[in-house]
Structure 1
Amino acid sequence: MAVSGASRVAVRVVAVVAGVVSAGLIVALVVNPDMADRTASVTGAIVGLAAFVLAVITLVRSTGTSGGGRRVRSGRGGIAAGGNITGNAIGGRSKVVGPPTPNAPAPARGQDADVRAGRDGLAAGGDVRDNALGDDSERR
């Protein structure tokens, strides 16, 4: 699975923070072992709580996508299609003129991805070809 840029930065930040905390606990152990014991206990409790919260957030965000299918969503006024959008007239006074375009092959089964169009947006999980979109548009 590929890691996005933001996720990559988050992983690096967590790694640096974990390294600094570990180094601090080692220094505390050398300087004052009694204080290091209490500090490690509190640090472990905080890290455990953070891991629990992260697990809950991950479970809540992934609900509904575990079936391996594609989720298709659109905002107000948006148009979203799970597959190809071909040869359509969308919008006021739009016209598609000419012979129909042959359908493109469907994407391979492992390539299902979520499709989301924002407010007044257009999104497709496949090809967008030979369409007339918007006011007074025409495709010849």
Structure 2
Amino acid sequence: MAVPGAARVAVWVLAVVAGVVSAGLIVALVVNPDMADRTASVTGAVIGLAAFVLAVITLVRSPGTSGGGRRVRSGRGGIAAGGSITGNAVGDRSTVVAPPTRSAPAPAGGQDADVRAGRDGLAAGGDVTDNALGDDSERR
């Protein structure tokens, strides 16, 4: 799973901070074990509280708990679209030769339906028209 640019920076910052805090606790343990015990307890409590807050924020912002909207997912090599798939050339050496026709509007009842294509599959929340799909395919 790829991590976006801003998230990647945040992960690196957190990793560096965790490394510095860990090194500081090890140094404190060598220099003054009693102080290191108290410091580690406070550090653990603060990190635990921060993890709790992060978990709550993640659960609140999760798209699965919002109750609305459509999920569009595909397996490896699959194609999934939340709406209509019209006039596309998908696959090696595929072409669409004729001008595309107008697609019909999506049915009103399926606005929040999930769309999922399995491995190497095709799924659409609307119409699939005027496409060239697959290796060496051509629509005339």
Name the TM-score, length of structure 1 as normaliser. 0.51
The runs of 5 or more residues in structure 2 that have no matched partner are 73-80, 87-98, 104-114, 119-124, 127-140
How far apart, in 2, do the equivalents of 1:26 and 1:64 lie?
41
Within 5 A, what are the aligned runs for 1:33-44?
33-44=33-44
> 8 Å contact 2:25–2:40 — kept in the other structure?
yes
Q: What residue identity is the alignment partner of 1:57?
A: I
Question: Which secondary structure does the structure 2 equivalent of 1:3 belong to?
Answer: coil
CA-atom RMSD, angstroms? Answer: 3.6
Number of matched pairs: 89
How far apart, in 1, do the equivalents of 2:22 and 2:65 lie?
36
How far apart, in 2, do the equivalents of 1:41 and 1:5 lie?
33
Within 5 A, what are the aligned runs for 1:1-140?
1-64=1-64, 70=70, 82-84=82-84, 101=101, 109-110=116-117
Following TM superposition, where does structure 1 have runs of at least 4 consecutive aligned residues deviating by more than 4 angstroms?
none
Q: What residue identity is the alignment partner of 2:36?
A: A
How far apart, in 2, do the equivalents of 1:43 and 1:59 lie?
24
The runs of 5 or more residues in structure 1 that have no matched partner are 73-80, 87-98, 112-124, 127-140
How far apart, in 2, do the equivalents of 1:110 and 1:84 lie?
14
Instruction: Tell me the CA shift for residue 43 of structure 1.
Output: 0.1
Percent of aligned pairs sharing the same letter: 85
